[in-house]
Amino acid sequence: MGPSATISSTLSSALRISSASLSSKAIEEGSMDGEHLIVTCTLSNCEKKIRTHALIDTGATGFSFIDENFASHHHLPLLPLKNPRKLEVIDGRPIASGVITHITKVRLNINQHAEEIPMFVTKLGHYPIVLGIPWLRLHDPAIRFASNTVVLDSAYCLHHCLDAPVIIQGISSPPPEKQTPPLALPQLDRRCMLPSLDPLHSSP
């Protein structure tokens, strides 16, 4: 099962995300609760490479999320959802930013691990990207909290994402993101826009 099939399986109910993914401040090293891990990564959009970081969120029921302002600032391609999705904090409270109406699909590199990944576009906090439980289930990494590392060596990854197992060193405090003003979705640069189709039922 590829990421597009995995993300489509979450359509029947509201998506949920942990409060840490929505915080406007980085998780302090001394208060990290062991369920969250931050990794550096690179997004590729046409010829442009964007170096950033992602929060691995074991409370997020969506495949992956990307901050709306971050996507706008970097002119990432958007695809409309056939059915807007409601987003809630893990305790069931609705998110003030409203429903999710678009996804983006870009190439994500975490060290040597590479994939084409669909991401729900919404308003996040300090972290530009959030990787959720369906992403973890698909790639099945071994997370070593004691050493703050992620080992990507599953059969799926070795077949689809990389040639040999890789160990990713997590970071405890990512650099602050440059604040960018929000842009209305129609203003985005669509030179790399994907075909107008149902993104959640297409082949990855």
pLDDT in tens, 38-91: 999 999 988 889 999 999 988 888 999 999 999 999 999 999 999 999 887 755
> Does 159 reside within a domain?
yes
CATH number of the domain bearing residue 11: 2.40.70.10
99, β-bridge pairs: none
Determine what percent of the chain falls in helix, strand and coil, rounding each to the nearest 5.
15, 35, 45
> Does 200 reside within a domain?
no
Q: Is the pLDDT of residue 167 over 60?
A: yes
Helices (runs of H) and strands (runs of E) counted in the chain: 5, 12
**Residue span of the structural domain in which 117 resides:** 3-25+35-180
Q: How many domains does the chain have?
A: 1
At 169, list the tokens: 């060193």
The answer for residues whose C-beta is within 8 angstroms of residue 83's C-beta and 6 or more apart is 11
At 113, list the tokens: 């691990």
> Does 60 reside within a domain?
yes
Quickly state the pLDDT bin for 173 (edges 50, 70, 90).
low
> Does 187 reside within a domain?
no
> Does 174 reside within a domain?
yes
Other beta carbons less than 10 A from residue 165's beta carbon: 14
Taking alpha carbons only, the member of 53, 71, 160 closest to residue 116 is 160
The enclosing H or E element of 138 equals helix 133-139
> Does 156 reside within a domain?
yes
89-104 residue pLDDT tens: 755 565 666 789 999 9
Q: Is the pLDDT of residue 171 over 80?
A: yes
> Does 196 reside within a domain?
no
